[in-house]
Amino acid sequence: MLILDCPYCGVRCDETELTPGGEAHLTRHGPGSDDADFERYLFQRRNPRGVHLERWRHAYGCGKWFHAARHTVTMQVFGTYPAQTTEPPADIVERIRASDPDWTFGDDT
Amino acid sequence: MRRYSAFAIAREALRHHTGWERAWKSAAPKSRYDVVIVGAGGHGLATAYWLGRNHGITNVAVIEKGWLGGGNTGRNTTIIRSNYLQDPSAALYEKSRSLYETMSQDLNYNVMFSPRGVLMLAQTEHEKRGYLRTAHANALQGITTRFIGPAEVKKICPIMNIDGPRYPVLGGLWQERAGTARHDAVAWGYARACSDMGMDIVEQCEVTGVTRDGARVTGLSTTRGDIACDKLGIVVAGHSGRLAEMAGFRLPVESVPLQALVSEPIKPCMDIVVMANTVHGYMSQSDKGEMVIGGGTDGYNAYTQRGSFQHIEETVRALVETFPMISRLKMLRQWGGIVDMTGDRSPILSRTPVENCFINCGWGTGGFKATPGSGWAFAELMATGASPLTAAFGMERFREGRFIDESVAAGVAH
């Protein structure tokens, strides 16, 4: 069972209390964008076998969206952070690099 | 290849079974092939088989990271059916179902195809209306299904509790010629036939890179050396994203664990397959007597081949209400497979942005039933550049908005 700490209300929740929301840090393309951008935003995913930054909602708690950094093979959680950001905070990046030194945050969506 | 037959069994019985030969040759990779298929699961092996049978291409290697049929081919609940709503899906899955009917004879390998009938339960009014619609669509597609009422459901499957109250059975979509097959045997049978045609099946050989000359694929680097090829077929299910990344493109696919479990063996009590899509519970009884149960997928990406316990709990809790007699069964094994989900819950059989590189993925939670048809169609696509069965399943459909929307059409299960 996956356990994450909600960065807003501080509650340690197991996954039944949360709703998964898919890949984090996607660029939301709006009207006027071309087809390729829309396709990237709506469908194409990094789907990494390794470190994954994703969105979660504390559905049966404070109701807020937050982000989590998790490893998709070992299920190690590197930390959670508020959703109002465009990249993971430095302390989480440091923890990720401790387990995967080559990892970089790629904002290419 | 020595044919399997009743006579062969008698002959071997008289000489202490010393004459059986290996079903397929264990090969070391050569430096070049006309076609390399990555992934020796059912779909990859079926592709190789039909490349040889239908298109005369036998200079083929099927390479596999682990062991043959050890991924989702060996992890599914073996359900075969073709009662889909959308025309392109129905065509592809019905082709596949019909190939299962003669597969044991075609391959000279007993795949134990058992057309015992598949019943998809309607447990909400919404589901009932959906299945009535599917039954009408199937009639137009030439696929034999019909919607049956609760009384007939009870007659076909007496162990079912149809009264609810939580999950009442309002009827079901019944496909009589659907059923199950032995999943390992499908992979083994294809491997044996491919090996017999002179193809190389290379296990324990992991792809580490895809080599390109500009926009054209030229080969692979693997843990057992470099392999050049004219055409490359990627058929690796949950790990498609990884191979696509090596080849230099991105897929509209996400990988999630899907779980299944089996009970202790009991006496025969259920001779059909039941799918309860509202509650994500799928059940049939194996020839050994185990109740084979499929569950739902996790909601988040993972490559753990394990899955989250809460989904097992949900599935079993719901099935116990519909099948009260299973409440005292002990479960023997539980496992997960990594399934590749697309946005419209339909597969991708497609050319890719890389020339001569083709991809067959996105089968999500229901690829086993499609194994022979997928191989047939994908082989045609790879050999000739186009196939009527794959035309609608190109990866460009997401950009163009031409979805084959089975996620809404079929409720949830595929």
**Among B155, B149, B116, residue whose Cα is nearest residue B272:** B116
Decide: helix, strand or coil at residue A25: coil
Domain B22-82+84-89+182-251+344-410 matches domain B118-179+255-342 at the CATH topology level: no
Residue pair B92/B371 in contact by the 8 Å Cβ criterion: no
pLDDT at A107: 56
- Say which CATH superfamily domain B118-179+255-342 falls into: D-Amino Acid Oxidase, subunit A, domain 2 (3.30.9.10)
pLDDT at B201: 97
Q: What is the dihedral of CA B129, B130, B134, B137, to 10 degrees?
A: 70
Beta pairing partners, B33: B229
pLDDT-derived band at A109, boundaries 50, 70, 90: very low
- Residue contact B255–A47, C-beta within 8 A: yes
In chain A, whose CA is at the least distance from the CA of B257? A72
Q: What percent of chain A has pLDDT over 70?
A: 97
Q: Give mean pLDDT, residues A79-89.
A: 94
- Residue contact A45–B250, C-beta within 8 A: yes
Residue pair B231/B59 in contact by the 8 Å Cβ criterion: no
Find all residues with CB under 8 Å of B237, minimum gap 6, and list them: B39, B41, B43, B71, B72, B338, B339, B340, B361, B363, B367
pLDDT-derived band at A59, boundaries 50, 70, 90: very high
Q: Which residues in chain A (27-66) have CB-CB distances under 8 A to chain B?
A: 35-36, 38-40, 42-49, 52, 54
pLDDT(A108) > 90: no
Of B301, B342, B398, the CB nearest to A72: B301
Ordered by where they begin, the domains of chain A are 3-108 (3.30.2270.10)
Class for domain B22-82+84-89+182-251+344-410, per CATH? alpha beta
| Cis bond upstream, residue B252 (ω within 30) | no
Tens digits of residue pLDDT in B158-195: 999 999 888 899 999 999 999 999 999 999 999 999 99
Find all residues with CB under 8 Å of A15, minimum gap 6, and list them: A1, A2, A3, A4, B300, B308, B310
pLDDT at B78: 96
B-chain residues near A67 (CB < 8 A): none
Find all residues with CB under 8 Å of B158, minimum gap 6, and list them: none
Of B242, B254, B398, the CB nearest to A39: B398
- Residue contact A49–B241, C-beta within 8 A: yes
Closest Cα in chain A, distance from residue B298 (Å):
9
pLDDT at B280: 82
pLDDT at A68: 97
Tens digits of residue pLDDT in B226-238: 999 999 999 999 8
Q: Give mean pLDDT, residues A4-33.
A: 94
A-chain residues near B256 (CB < 8 A): none
Task: Tell me which residues of chain B have a pLDDT lower than 70.
Answer: 408-414
The full set of domain ranges for chain B reads 22-82+84-89+182-251+344-410, 118-179+255-342
Closest Cα in chain B, distance from residue A20 (Å):
6
Average pLDDT, chain A: 92
Of B300, B303, B308, the CB nearest to A49: B303
pLDDT at B203: 96
Give the pTM. 0.94
Residue of A1, A16, A26, A44 best to disrupt the B interface, most CBs of B under 10 A: A44
pLDDT at B410: 45
Vertex B89 angle, CA B87 and B94, to 5°: 95
A-chain residues near B407 (CB < 8 A): none
- Residue contact A43–B242, C-beta within 8 A: no
Closest Cα in chain B, distance from residue A72 (Å):
4
